[in-house]
């Protein structure tokens, strides 16, 4: 066999298919590049090339089918078999020439993207998608080989293509179908090397098997007669079984019970009454036998006014205005068996700086008086316990605004102006300031290097609490693009950063009196499905918390639960109410581990909005 002529003949035979595939795969990247050029961003393509790369496996399979069909249809088959050429040589040549052409087609958009991006924007933006340059050709090799084999057997292009693609998809889905305890596709695929390795091995193995099978099938002239009807039914049945098995492997949060809330429960927040979970409108929430029970709290008296009368006997002083921290609800702590609610009341002056035209430039609040108020939280209400005057720590000329209040076991840490105060609450009726340290401006307003945090200058706190507080305060300035959630139970201290792109876990690797050093231990990107239909980051004030090693993250209409304590971050469950009229308001984990979720639904009826509330009990995913 004259190899050069054979190659020429084979390439010539496929030229129209190759050109058509090139046009298909290069159309969109060229389009994007032209658009970018018009937008002044230079002639380059990136995001849409990645999308079109997904067409690669389909086109490789198309080339395979065309390649086989060109020589194995009835008349040509008889023709080339009459020539003095070994069947295995002929098929091997055909197989590899077609494969190389398919890879050339696939390489075109990749090279185009790489070169144009490198020349205009730099290749840093391609780092995130570099794994696709390996995965897509690998899958393409699989689809090419399998479709080649199928067409050798079936001898009908369209059917062989469909059967080949179905087999290739099935093989790629097998790892998720088998009981390998895979729940989180994103984490398992990216993080587990053996898993990825086994997929590569199976893919290449099947490709080699298909190649070998093709040679045998042509040598023995095997043919299978197919019917479109049977193929479609068989394919649909196969996909159905795969889906059914796949769904068992993927986590989902089940609804155990659901209650519609009446108008009086429309304050959509969980609260505590005597240490028990309640709706802020005054209903105690009980969850027994996977059902929700709402019990009205008949006698509920709060002695807010009593304490306020003590700190402001003549009302708010003239010229000052009052404020509370936290604004929405109290901060709770448990001392002994009793539950206490704390809140900081501040009084000060609001200063406004305006331009000559009267336009507001800056508004600041200068604190003149501050009081820490404490109530005991009992089922029947709030009993006034104590108040602590912190005004003596305030300066007249305060350049630093912002108040922070944190509770650690029996101590309360207050950051106000340039003071860091530690208050001992072990005797709630007589709280005492046990430490007062000056707070450096750099601590509050940033200045920390990446991976290094300044330590809060207090010594009366437990080291772990001190680290957690320091991270909690300083990380706001290090991770401006995301939300930091500190794991209050982990050892070593760790926190999770939730951003638009995904979740990352950081762990403390060392600390001294001045700095804490951290390392990023793990990260997990959000999948397309997780970012679809509403973002991951919510508008609620505290849409994330960690409890028992699980991160509960919720946004407007979705709740996701992640395991953040295991060797890698994995998603355990996903709950979503996909409607822009729905919004999750609050989430709590109840004693038996289930999740309580408060959500609302606003429906526009004419000119008015009608609000309906839902209280749902969800099974906590494991």
Partner 1 sequence: MLMRLLWKEWRESLWKLGFGLGTSVAFTIMLFRIRLFPDMANCAIISVAQLFVIPVVYALDLFSGEMSNGTIHLLFKVPVARWKIFLSKYLMAIGCVGLIFMSTGGLMEILGHGREAEPGMLFRMNGLFAVCAGVVLAWFSAFGSQSRSEAGSLVALFGVVVGWGIVWFWSILCKVTWAFYFVPYTFALWAVEPKNFELSRGLFWATQILLMGLALSIACYRYVKIRRVL
Q: Does 532 bind partner 1 (CB under 8 A)?
A: yes
Out of 161, 371, 453, 495, name the contact with partner 1 by CB under 8 A: 161
> Does 293 interact with partner 1 (rule: CB under 8 A)?
no
Contact 152, 224 (CB under 8 A): no
Q: Give the nearest distance from C-beta 32 to partner 1 in angstroms.
A: 6
125 binds partner 1 (CB under 8 A): no
Read off φ and ψ for residue 267, nearest 5 degrees: -75, 110
Does residue 533 bind partner 1 (CB under 8 A)? yes
For residues 106 and 619, give the distance between their C-alpha atoms in angstroms, rounded to a whole number: 46
Task: Out of 1, 86, 578, 610, point to the residue binding partner 1 (CB under 8 A).
Answer: 578
Part in contact with partner 1 (CB under 8 A); list of ranges 299-307, 394-402, 458-466, 576-584? 576-584
Using CB under 8 A as the binding rule, whether residue 44 contacts partner 1 is answered as: no
Which ranges constitute the DSSP H helices of 14-73?
A: 15-38, 47-53, 56-72
Query: CA-CA distance, 8 to 170, in Å (whole number)?
Result: 35
SS3 content of the chain, % helix, strand, coil (to 5): 40, 30, 30
Asked if 288 is part of the footprint of partner 1 (rule: CB under 8 A), the reply reads no
Task: Tell which one of 233, 290, 391, 514 touches partner 1 (CB under 8 A).
Answer: 233
96 binding partner 1? (CB under 8 A): no
Q: Which of residues 243-282 bind partner 1 (CB under 8 A)?
A: 243-244, 247, 250, 252, 254
- 228 near partner 1, rule: CB under 8 A: yes
Which of helix, strand or coil describes residue 521? strand
Side-chain-side CA neighbours of residue 257 (13 Å): 16
Q: How many helices (H) and strands (E) does the chain have?
A: 15, 27
Length of the chain measured in residues: 622
Candidates 558, 443, 566; CA nearest to 496 is 566
Min separation Cβ 576 and partner 1, Å: 4
The answer to whether 516 and 531 have CB atoms below 8 angstroms apart is: no
Nearer to partner 1, 115 or 158 (CB): 158
Query: What gap in Å lies between CA 410 and CA 81, rounded to an integer?
Result: 90
> What is the nearest approach in angstroms of partner 1 to the Cβ of residue 103?
21
- Give the span between the Cα atoms of 525 and 505, in whole angstroms: 12
3-state secondary structure of 4: helix
Query: Is residue 108 a contact point for partner 1 (CB under 8 A)?
Result: no
Over the window 534 to 573, marking each residue x when it contacts partner 1 by CB under 8 A and - when it does not, the resulting string is: ----------------------------------------
Selected binder of partner 1 within 49, 117, 140, 157 (CB under 8 A): 157
Query: By CB under 8 A, which span of 176-184, 188-196, 225-233, 446-454 interacts with partner 1?
Result: 225-233
User: Which residue number, 200 or 228, has a Cβ lying nearer to partner 1?
Assistant: 228
Distance separating alpha carbons of residues 565 and 124, to the nearest angstrom:
31
Which stretches of 161-312 are assigned E, i.e. beta strand? 255-261, 270-273, 276-279, 283-288, 291-296, 301-302
Q: Within positions 50 to 79, which residues make up the interface with partner 1, using CB under 8 A?
A: 55
Judged by CB under 8 A, the residue of 577, 587, 595, 617 near partner 1 is: 577
**Is 593 among the residues that bind partner 1 (CB under 8 A)?**
no
Between strands 381-389 and 301-302, the pairing is parallel
Query: For residues 356 and 344, is the Cβ–Cβ distance under 8 A?
Result: no
- 582 is a contact residue toward partner 1 (CB under 8 A): yes
Closer to partner 1 at the Cβ: 131 or 233? 233
Among 184, 522, 530, 576, binds partner 1 (CB under 8 A): 576
# chain residues binding partner 1, by CB under 8 A? 37
- CA pair distance 204, 200, nearest whole angstrom: 6
Among 18, 32, 64, 536, binds partner 1 (CB under 8 A): 32
| Per-position x/- string for 324-343, each x denoting binding to partner 1 as judged by CB under 8 A, each - no binding | --------------------
Question: C-beta of 229: minimal distance to partner 1 in Å?
Answer: 5
Q: E strand or H helix at 208, and its extent?
A: helix 193-219
> Between 146 and 154, whose beta carbon lies closer to partner 1?
154
**Residue 313, token pair as written in the block:** 């006997």
Q: Kindly report the backbone phi and psi dihedral angles of residue 278, in degrees, each rounded to the nearest multiple of 5, phi listed first.
A: -150, 160
Q: In terms of Cα–Cα distance, which of 539, 550, 441 is closest to 488?
A: 550
The dihedral through the CA atoms of 59, 60, 65, 71 has a sign that is positive
Compare residues 49 and 287 and give the one whose CB is closer to partner 1: 49
Residue 442: count of CB within 10 angstroms of its CB: 12
Stretch that binds partner 1, among 78-86, 102-110, 176-184, 230-238 (CB under 8 A): 230-238
Which residues contribute to the site for partner 1 (CB under 8 A)? 24, 27-28, 31-32, 35, 38, 48, 55, 156-159, 161, 228-229, 232-233, 236, 240, 243-244, 247, 250, 252, 254, 529, 532-533, 576-582, 603
């Amino acid at each position: 066999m004259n190899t050069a002529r054979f190659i020429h003949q084979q390439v010539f035979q496929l030229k129209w298919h190759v050109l058509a595939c090139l046009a298909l795969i290069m159309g969109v990247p060229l389009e994007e590049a032209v658009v970018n050029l018009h937008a002044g961003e230079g002639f380059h393509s990136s995001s849409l090339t990645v999308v079109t790369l997904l067409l690669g496996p389909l086109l490789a399979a198309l080339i395979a089918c065309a390649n086989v069909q060109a020589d194995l249809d009835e008349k040509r088959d008889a023709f080339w078999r009459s020539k003095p050429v070994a069947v295995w040589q002929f098929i091997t040549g055909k197989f590899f020439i077609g494969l190389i052409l398919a890879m050339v087609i696939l390489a075109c958009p990749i090279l185009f993207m790489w070169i144009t991006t490198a020349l205009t924007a730099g290749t840093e933006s391609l780092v995130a998608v570099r794994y696709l340059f390996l995965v897509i050709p690998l899958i393409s090799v699989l689809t090419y080989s399998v479709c080649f084999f199928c067409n050798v057997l079936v001898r009908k292009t369209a059917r062989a293509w469909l059967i080949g693609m179905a087999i290739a998809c099935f093989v790629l889905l097998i790892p998720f179908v088998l009981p390998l305890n895979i729940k989180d596709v994103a984490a398992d695929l990216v993080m587990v090397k053996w898993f990825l390795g086994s997929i590569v091995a199976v893919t290449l193995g099947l490709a080699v098997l298909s190649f070998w099978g093709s040679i045998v099938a042509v040598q023995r002239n095997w043919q299978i007669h197919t019917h479109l009807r049977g193929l479609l039914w068989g394919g649909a049945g196969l996909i159905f079984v795969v889906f059914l098995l796949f769904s068992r492997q993927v986590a989902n949060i089940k609804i155990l019970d659901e209650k519609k809330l009446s108008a009086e429960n429309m304050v959509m927040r969980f609260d505590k009454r005597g240490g028990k979970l309640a709706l802020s409108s005054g209903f105690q929430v009980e969850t027994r036998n996977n059902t929700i029970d709402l019990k009205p709290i008949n006698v509920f008296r709060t002695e807010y006014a009593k304490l306020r009368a003590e700190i402001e006997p003549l009302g708010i002083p003239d010229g000052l205005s009052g404020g509370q921290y936290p604004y929405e609800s109290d901060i709770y702590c448990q001392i002994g068996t009793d539950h206490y609610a704390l809140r900081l009341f501040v009084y000060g002056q609001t200063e406004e700086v305006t331009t000559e035209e009267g336009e507001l430039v800056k508004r600041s609040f200068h604190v003149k008086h501050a009081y820490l108020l404490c109530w005991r939280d009992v089922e029947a209400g709030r009993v006034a316990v104590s108040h602590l005057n912190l005004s003596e720590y305030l300066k007249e000329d305060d350049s630093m605004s912002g108040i922070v209040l944190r509770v650690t076991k029996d101590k309360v840490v207050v950051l106000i102006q340039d003071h860091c105060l530690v208050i001992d609450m072990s005797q709630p009726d007589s709280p005492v300031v046990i430490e007062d340290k000056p707070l450096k401006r750099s601590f509050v307003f940033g200045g920390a290097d990446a991976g290094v945090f300044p330590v809060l200058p207090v010594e009366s706190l437990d080291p772990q609490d001190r680290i957690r507080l320091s991270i909690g305060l300083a990380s706001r300035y290090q991770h401006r693009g995301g939300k930091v959630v500190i794991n209050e139970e982990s050892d070593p201290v760790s926190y999770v950063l939730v951003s638009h792109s995904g979740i990352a876990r950081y762990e403390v690797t060392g600390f001294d009196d001045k700095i804490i050093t951290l390392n990023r231990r793990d990260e997990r990107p959000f999948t397309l499905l997780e970012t679809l239909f509403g973002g991951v980051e919510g508008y609620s004030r505290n849409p994330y918390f960690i409890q028992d090693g699980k991160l509960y993250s919720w946004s407007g209409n979705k709740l996701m639960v992640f395991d953040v304590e295991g060797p890698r971050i994995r998603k355990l469950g996903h709950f979503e109410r996909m409607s822009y009229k729905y919004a999750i308001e609050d989430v709590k984990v109840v004693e038996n581990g289930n999740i309580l979720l408060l959500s609302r639904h606003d429906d526009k009826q004419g000119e008015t909005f009608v609000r309906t509330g839902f209280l749902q009990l969800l099974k906590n995913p494991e």
